[in-house]
């Protein structure tokens, strides 16, 4: 089956305007007749719920945290891209579009990416009007810095707390609508099932995480803004609660899952320090503006970094990629670090990192400037490592950070299931095989504030006069029964192993065989091991407590059960894609210089997978990618 993304006709720069004009509208007086469910309150979900509420729709919004402010968007550090060209350094909407397509290794839709670049201009104005305290230059103008994959400065930032400040802007807009009565907020509620009736998404089944109550919620449309699936690897920079249950439950009900093998490894994270760790910590990509990455030229050099003279250091990114140097895209920087460590040049007690050094920048700019730019990040690093990065280099190594794959959506952000919309990191739409730094916040806010509120009307207009689906229908009863049965099954196993022990073992399998480098033999072995471990999980997991009360063991068990099935699909997708592109690096497909080697003749498409049951091969559906405005070429950052 070939998928139709419903991309509007016309020149690239006019597609979004054409779409908005041709799309059906819902008049203001009719919006109150529609009920919309939004799951997730991060930048995408929070912005969407606030905007839809302000437009006059009846909105229910759900999060599993105790407050929308706990959403993982708050952890984003470095900044948000926009093609404002305030630095007068040659930036433009088209350049941001091109950098994003190229950065994603030519595996994203042109139309979606160009729309994102266009809307980036509006996002900054929106956030400034909300009072987001972006950094400013001495004269009061908004400041910018550079991020990987670009040769211009287009990243707006609020020190190292950009995600937090943007989320507070969306949160206050959301709270305003809650107070106005257009939005109902359900905190500490987890979506456990999507309800599909006559082929259309009509609601969700949730569990109240405090009381254990199972609840039904019906609506004309369901919006998922629940983030990515990086925690399938166990160790990642994601919050421990981040999970894939909402999108996986939708996938099991018929929503296609696109490009699951496109996982991003972030190059600047604090290295693993022991078996006891349950997560990893990101050091913002913004640090690569002023930090220089290096390893000793002598792999047996045991001197302290400050005792190694410059001529005995290998600033390998500057050497290999002189045009972009330390600001190459994330996948390129991560693989380069892996090569250095694998070849024996790693640093630190476990020789599992590389240096990120600010000595040159401090000498050039002064400590006060560096402290002003990155002070909170330096404090975080010192608190975790016990080392002062103003005096000694940071030690960094790549870690799982973001997922470019997600539920398949068309140009309107609707999945193949009518009535189900997916926004932000939960969908696959804008970043191809590798996301550029500072583009996640851009996509989340573009989807939430601007795109979804426009496109959802085109779907809802077809149902004007149709009452909201009834939560008493057979479809809701069936979905609720499935949730209760799954809960009872998890509680009844009473095995000997903890949920976390299974999750940790799953993560080790994936990191070893489906991490930064992959090959056919390893992927086949990984899938076999995942299946065996999944079967053991359902025989021997130990879930404490009951289902009628607060029970975090039960919460984690359900999420890890979904991770097992997702891990199988990740392996299948990575095995089927016989090329290297972006974050998907197949060792059999690389250039003589060790770079990713694409196969545009056979793999210039989106892989959209249909669920057929646990342990069974998913069915592949393809959406061909057509490039009319960029020339496909081997990426070069040299």
As a whole number, mean pLDDT of residues 555-576 equals 98
CB 300: neighbour CB atoms within 10 A? 7
**pLDDT at position 121:** 97
pLDDT tens-digit readout, 20-50 = 999 999 999 999 999 999 999 999 999 999 9
Q: Are residues 387 and 280 part of one domain?
A: yes
Distance CA 414, CA 427 (A): 10
274 belongs to a structural domain: yes
Q: Residue 62 above 70 pLDDT?
A: yes
- Provide the CATH number for the domain around residue 290: 3.90.700.10
As a whole number, mean pLDDT of residues 230-251 equals 97
Question: 305: Cβ–Cβ under 8 A, 6 or more apart, which residues?
Answer: 347, 355, 357, 392, 393
1 belongs to a structural domain: no
- Provide the CATH number for the domain around residue 570: 1.20.58.100
Q: Are residues 513 and 389 part of one domain?
A: no
Q: Which domain holds residue 274?
A: 265-399
Sheet of 394-403, strand order: 263-269, 394-403, 354-357, 292-296, 313-314
- Report the SS3 class of residue 93: helix
Rg (CA), the chain: 24
Antiparallel, parallel or unpaired: β 58-62 and 183-186? parallel
Place of tokens 């803004």: 225
Distance CA 239, CA 280 (A): 9
Q: Are residues 391 and 490 part of one domain?
A: no
Q: Residue 1 above 80 pLDDT?
A: no
Share of the chain above pLDDT 70, in %: 100
**pLDDT at position 615:** 87
As a whole number, mean pLDDT of residues 477-484 equals 98
On the CB side of 190, CA atoms within 13 Å amount to: 23
Place of tokens 């211009």: 152
Question: 6: Cβ–Cβ under 8 A, 6 or more apart, which residues?
Answer: 410, 411, 412
Q: Residue 281 above 90 pLDDT?
A: yes
Handedness of CA 528, 531, 535, 541 (dihedral sign): positive
Please check whether residue 499 is in contact with residue 562, taking contact to mean a CB–CB distance below 8 angstroms. Answer: no
- Report the SS3 class of residue 189: strand
Based on the structure, what is the number of domains in the chain? 2
242 belongs to a structural domain: no
User: Minimal CA–CA distance to 183: which of 24, 31, 25, 29?
Assistant: 31
**pLDDT at position 56:** 98
**pLDDT at position 160:** 87
Q: Residue 192 above 70 pLDDT?
A: yes
As a whole number, mean pLDDT of residues 574-589 equals 98
**pLDDT at position 601:** 97
As a whole number, mean pLDDT of residues 143-169 equals 95
Last residue of a domain, one of 337, 366, 399: 399
pLDDT tens-digit readout, 343-366 = 999 999 999 999 999 999 999 999
pLDDT tens-digit readout, 102-143 = 999 999 999 999 999 999 999 999 999 999 999 999 899 999
322 belongs to a structural domain: yes
As a whole number, mean pLDDT of residues 427-452 equals 97
555 belongs to a structural domain: yes
Last residue of a domain, one of 369, 399, 429: 399
User: Minimal CA–CA distance to 192: which of 138, 249, 146, 231?
Assistant: 249
Q: Are residues 376 and 497 part of one domain?
A: no
Please check whether residue 48 is in contact with residue 225, taking contact to mean a CB–CB distance below 8 angstroms. Answer: yes
Please check whether residue 142 is in contact with residue 86, taking contact to mean a CB–CB distance below 8 angstroms. Answer: yes
CB 532: neighbour CB atoms within 10 A? 11
536 belongs to a structural domain: yes
Q: Which helix (H) or strand (E) holds 204?
A: strand 200-208
DSSP 544: -
529 belongs to a structural domain: yes
Q: Residue 590 above 90 pLDDT?
A: yes
As a whole number, mean pLDDT of residues 492-500 equals 98
577 belongs to a structural domain: yes
Q: Copy the structure tokens of residue 472.
A: 């008493």
As a whole number, mean pLDDT of residues 150-178 equals 96
Share of the chain above pLDDT 90, in %: 97
Distance CA 69, CA 527 (A): 37
User: Minimal CA–CA distance to 40: which of 330, 401, 407?
Assistant: 407
- Rounded to an integer, what is the distance from CA 572 to the centroid of its chain? 20
**pLDDT at position 159:** 87
User: Minimal CA–CA distance to 23: which of 5, 6, 2?
Assistant: 6
Distance CA 76, CA 264 (A): 15
CB 509: neighbour CB atoms within 10 A? 23
Phi, psi of 357 (to 5 degrees): -110, 130
Exposure class string for 144-167: b at 16+ Cβ within 10 A, else e: bbbbbbbebbbbbbbbbbbbbbbb
pLDDT tens-digit readout, 513-539 = 999 999 999 999 999 999 999 999 999
User: Minimal CA–CA distance to 125: which of 174, 70, 84, 73?
Assistant: 84
As a whole number, mean pLDDT of residues 589-597 equals 94
Q: Are residues 390 and 489 part of one domain?
A: no
Dihedral of the CA atoms 329, 331, 337, 338 (nearest 10)? -170
Last residue of a domain, one of 399, 428, 443: 399
Please check whether residue 629 is in contact with residue 100, taking contact to mean a CB–CB distance below 8 angstroms. Answer: no
């Amino acid at each position: 089956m070939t998928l139709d993304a419903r991309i509007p006709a016309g020149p690239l720069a006019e597609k979004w305007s054409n779409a908005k004009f041709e799309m059906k509208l819902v008049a203001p007086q009719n919006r109150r007749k529609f009920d919309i469910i939004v799951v997730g309150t991060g930048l995408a979900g929070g912005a969407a719920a606030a905007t839809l509420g302000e437009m006059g729709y009846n909105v229910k919004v759900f999060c599993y945290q105790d407050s929308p402010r706990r959403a993982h968007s708050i952890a984003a550090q470095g900044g948000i891209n926009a093609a404002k060209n305030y630095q007068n350094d040659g930036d433009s909407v088209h350049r941001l579009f091109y950098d994003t397509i190229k950065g994603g290794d030519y595996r994203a839709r042109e139309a979606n990416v160009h729309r994102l670049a266009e809307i980036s201009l509006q996002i900054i104005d929106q956030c400034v009007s909300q009072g987001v305290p972006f950094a400013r230059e001495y004269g009061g103008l908004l400041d910018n810095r550079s991020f990987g994959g670009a040769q211009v400065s287009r990243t707006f930032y609020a020190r190292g707390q950009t995600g937090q400040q943007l989320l507070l802007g969306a949160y206050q807009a959301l709270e305003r609508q809650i107070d106005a009565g257009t939005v109902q907020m359900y905190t500490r509620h987890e979506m456990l099932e999507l309800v599909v009736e006559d082929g259309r998404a009509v609601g969700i089944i949730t569990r109240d995480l405090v009381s254990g109550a199972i609840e039904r919620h019906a609506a004309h449309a369901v919006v998922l803004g629940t983030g990515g699936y990086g925690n399938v690897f166990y160790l990642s920079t994601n919050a421990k609660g981040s999970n894939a249950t909402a999108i996986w439950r939708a996938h099991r009900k018929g929503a296609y899952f696109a490009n699951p093998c496109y996982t991003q490894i972030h190059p600047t994270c604090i290295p693993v320090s022991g078996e006891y760790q349950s997560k990893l910590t990101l050091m913002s990509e913004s640090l690569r503006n002023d930090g220089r990455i290096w390893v000793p030229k002598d792999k047996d050099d045991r001197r302290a970094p400050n005792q190694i003279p410059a001529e005995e250091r290998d600033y390998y990114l500057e050497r290999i990629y002189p045009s972009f140097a330390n600001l190459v895209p994330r996948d390129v920087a991560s693989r380069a670090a892996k090569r250095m460590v694998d070849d024996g040049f790693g640093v630190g007690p476990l020789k599992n990192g590389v240096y990120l050094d600010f000595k040159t920048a401090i000498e050039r700019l002064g400590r006060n400037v560096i402290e002003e730019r990155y002070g909170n990040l330096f404090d975080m690093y010192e608190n975790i490592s016990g080392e002062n990065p103003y005096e000694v280099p940071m030690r960094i190594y790549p870690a799982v950070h973001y997922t470019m794959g997600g539920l398949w959506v068309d140009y309107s952000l609707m999945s193949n299931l009518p009535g189900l919309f997916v926004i932000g990191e939960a969908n696959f739409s804008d970043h191809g095989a590798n996301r550029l730094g500072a583009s996640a916040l851009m996509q989340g806010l573009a989807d939430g504030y601007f795109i979804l509120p426009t496109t959802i009307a085109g779907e809802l207009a077809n149902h004007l006069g149709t009452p909201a689906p009834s939560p008493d229908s057979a479809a809701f009863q069936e979905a609720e029964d499935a949730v209760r049965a799954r809960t009872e099954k998890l509680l009844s196993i009473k095995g000997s192993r903890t949920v976390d022990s299974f999750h940790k073992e799953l993560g080790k399998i994936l990191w070893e065989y489906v991490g930064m480098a992959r090959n056919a033999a390893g992927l086949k072995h990984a899938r076999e091991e995942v299946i065996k471990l999944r079967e053991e999980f359902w025989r021997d997991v130990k879930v404490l407590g009951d289902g009628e009360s607060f029970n975090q063991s039960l919460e984690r068990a359900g999420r890890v059960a979904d991770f097992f099935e997702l891990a199988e699909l990740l392996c299948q997708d990575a095995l089927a894609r016989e090329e290297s592109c972006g974050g998907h690096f197949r060792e059999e497909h690389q250039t003589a210089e060790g770079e990713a080697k694409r196969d545009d003749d056979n793999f210039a498409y989106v892989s959209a997978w249909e669920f057929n049951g646990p342990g069974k091969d998913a069915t592949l559906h393809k959406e061909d990618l057509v490039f009319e405005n960029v020339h496909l070429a081997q990426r070069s950052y040299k």
